[in-house]
Amino acid sequence: MGKPASGSGQLSTSVYPGMKRKIYSLRIDHCLRSISLKRTKIILVAATAIFLSAGCVTTSVSRTATDEVIDLSGRWNDTDARLTAEVLINDVLSRPWLLNFVEEESTKPVVIIGSVRNKSSEHIDLLPLIKSFQMELINSGKVKFVADAKAREEIRSEREDQQSNASEDTATKLADETGADFMLQGVITTTVDAVDGKRVVLYQTNLELVDLRSNEIVWLGEKGIKKLVEQAKASW
């Protein structure tokens, strides 16, 4: 009988090193997968915690007085519009042009608001400011006030409709409007200075009153509102 192969029952020395390397490779791959799985679990847990904490945020609403000053973003707001209108209209109604007109014409002047332009560095809804101008002028009782161009178009359309559909006794006459004597015009600008999370913003509102007969500017007024806005840096 032939002799048994050398090293019977054991791996050949030429095969063993290759299998050993393969085993090491499998072990390393297993370890890497295990580490990756652990990292994935940690990320998922963290993301879940953030999601749950965000979902637990509650909204609180409380009513405040309409004249209470509340500044959240530091931008132009309703308080700025109200304060600006009060100061400027009080000033224009205390100047000589008003007394001079009343003495010459023996009647109150008729005022209309023209364009108020936003030349600032941010979007500003000018309607609240314009409405505040109107309210201060009308409630003063010192001037008469007529509707602006946009409102007049709607009113004229209604007046035209009445000529065809309303009775003769109730239809409003055409070409019977009250003409304005003076037009109020203005502009809002901003000056911004910022450094290291701090920002100073100056909102400047300039108005002028123009005599519509002569184009003479009979009054100039300005109102500035300066705000210091500080933004804290996020800490992690």
**Residues 189-201: pLDDT tens digits?**
999 998 888 889 9
What is the C-alpha to C-alpha distance for residues 230 and 196, in angstroms, rounded to an integer? 9
What is the C-alpha to C-alpha distance for residues 202 and 227, in angstroms, rounded to an integer? 6
What is the C-alpha to C-alpha distance for residues 223 and 225, in angstroms, rounded to an integer? 7
Q: Quote the pLDDT of residue 8.
A: 46
**Could you tell me the residue ranges of all domains in the chain?**
16-54, 78-166+179-230
pTM: 0.70
Between the CA of residue 62 and those of 59, 65, 68, what are the distances in Å?
10, 10, 13
Q: Are 72 and 78 in contact (CB under 8 A)?
A: no
pLDDT bucket at 7, cuts 50 / 70 / 90: very low
Is 78-166+179-230 assigned to CATH 3.40.50? yes
Bigger pLDDT: 12 vs 68: 68
**Residues 77-110: pLDDT tens digits?**
989 999 999 999 999 999 999 999 999 999 999 9
The conformation of residue 169, written as its DSSP 8-state character, comes to: T
Q: Quote the pLDDT of residue 73.
A: 78
Q: Quote the pLDDT of residue 218.
A: 98
